[in-house]
Structure 1
Amino acid sequence: AFVLFFFLMFVGGCSGSTAGGMKIFRFQLSLIVLREQLMRLLHPRAVFTRNYNGRAVSDEIISSMIAYTFIFLLCLLIITVALAALQLDFITSLSGALTVLTNVGPALGDTIGPAGNFAPLPEAAKWILSVGMLMGRLEILSVVIVLSPAFWRS
């Protein structure tokens, strides 16, 4: 149950939901791309079309999905390392970072799990988790764009 709940935290919710996370839509697109790549190995000269709900999926959408996934995982890594640097255990650091990025509720472990709360964490950890929560709630790419110098120059 622990491992299943951890992986479900990545999903966050369905498209259009206020939860952050990868969303089911991105996982479905990933499976479509994976299936296409496997079919290309079997039939290298075949022509394939990617369809989702009866509509063609462009390369631009796939590129956007890959960029979001990379930035999501990078943010997860940065927040996890920052929390671990504050002497929090690995489960608390990783699940805390994941729960704030996906806005799904409780994390895992004894400290911030379903039976615990964020009160015993150090102040610095609460600030890190607050920034992560804003990133998850406002969509990570939006926050990254607003914080980039190129946005403010133009």
Structure 2
Amino acid sequence: MTKLTMTVNGRKMSGDAEGRTLLSDFLRQELELTGTHVGCDTSQCGACTVHVDGLAVKSCAVLAMECEGAEVTTIEGMANKDGSLSVLQQAFQDHHGLQCGFCTPGMVMSASALLKDNPRPSEAEIRHHLEGNICRCTGYHNIVKAVLAASGQPVPEGVTATE
């Protein structure tokens, strides 16, 4: 076991990990941050998406040891300082961009990375960016509406799949 230290959601945190421990497992089991979901363990579904040093990564495809000293943001770190939902989280709620909620943490983390790089993405850009995140419940339409709303753009009444 090796002692790892990283800044998670603005707080310096430490825990023990074996060399083979995935970041997703380290966050959930060692640091008890269970908002990061593990859906497939093969980096296909995107439920485990977090930000490492400002980049969206699938935490089931990253070894915890690779994040020694890194700045990690999980879904728990997305809320406002007062604990209220961020604009993006509120948009997911307002536009029914979640149903069972399993994919939601990864969707929010991926969408926030998109909005950081492209503050006013088109519907097509949103759909393209979220291709690495699987949702089995919503059909993505309301997720796209939520991201459009969070970006401050008008939300068309009938957003439809165009691709």
Q: TM-score, normalized by length of structure 1? A: 0.27
| Higher relative helix content | 1
* Structure showing greater Rg: 1
| Higher relative strand content | 2
Q: TM-score, normalized by length of structure 2? A: 0.26
